[in-house]
Amino acid sequence: ALCRLSNESMELASSNREPSLFAVAKLLETALVNLSRSDIVWRPITNHLLIVSQHPHLRMRQWGCEALTFLTKQSLQHKYDPPLEENVRLQNMLLSPLAELCAIPFPDVRQKQLDTVLHVLHTTGETLNQGWPLVLSVIGNLDADHSDILVRNAFQCLQLVFADFLPTIPYRCY
């Protein structure tokens, strides 16, 4: 129901009307409350937030991206049973939406994505065991069209990886 309501808001935003962000905010709340049920709610909610993050209306896109990146940060800090560092499937599931943001060409989305990667490295980098390929793909997914600021942010992430996490990265990621 929240996804349908959000779709209606996106349609309004497409016609240059100010969208309601209520549904996106409630989707985020719903996901945060149900982190212990990530297997059930993660994909439907993050898939919708990825769609919102691609919207041409700036405010709508920013809210979608903010909700998705905030949810990713919170999910990686949640206490799971078994712990996140032991659950390869869960790590990949939680990091996949962050990696999928690479397909969105808007600079503001890419900036938020790299800020989130930097935050993840600072807070939960030691638990990423099998999530490194996704994190490194986000950092390395820049090209000549991206701004100097994005390149600097990606470089800052890469410096942190080399300085603090090189011994923990699987050899296949080198």
Alpha-carbon span 135 to 138, nearest angstrom: 5
For residues 114 and 107, the answer to whether their CB atoms sit within 8 Å is: no
Alpha-carbon gap, residue 149 to 146, rounded angstroms = 8
- Residue 99 near residue 138, CB atoms below 8 Å: yes
DSSP 162: I
Q: Give the predicted TM-score (pTM) of the model.
A: 0.93
Report residue 142's pLDDT band, with 50, 70 and 90 as the boundaries.
confident
For residues 141-150, average pLDDT:
86
Picking from 80-84, 94-98, 113-117, which range would have the lowest pLDDT averaged per residue? 80-84
Summarised one tens digit per residue, pLDDT across range 46-77 is 999 999 999 999 999 999 999 999 999 999 99
Q: How confident is the model at residue 15 (pLDDT cuts 50, 70, 90)?
A: confident
3-state secondary structure at position 164: helix
Percent of the chain as helix, strand, coil, to the nearest 5: 80, 0, 20
Contacts of 121 (CB under 8 A, 6+ apart): 135, 157, 160, 161, 164, 165
Confidence band for 130, pLDDT divided at 50, 70 and 90 = confident
Closest CA to 78 of 43, 37, 131: 37
Q: Among 46-50, 78-82, 126-130, which stretch is predicted with the lowest mean pLDDT?
A: 126-130
Is it the case that residue 144 has pLDDT exceeding 80? no
DSSP 82: S
Nearest alpha carbon to residue 130 among 159, 173, 101: 173
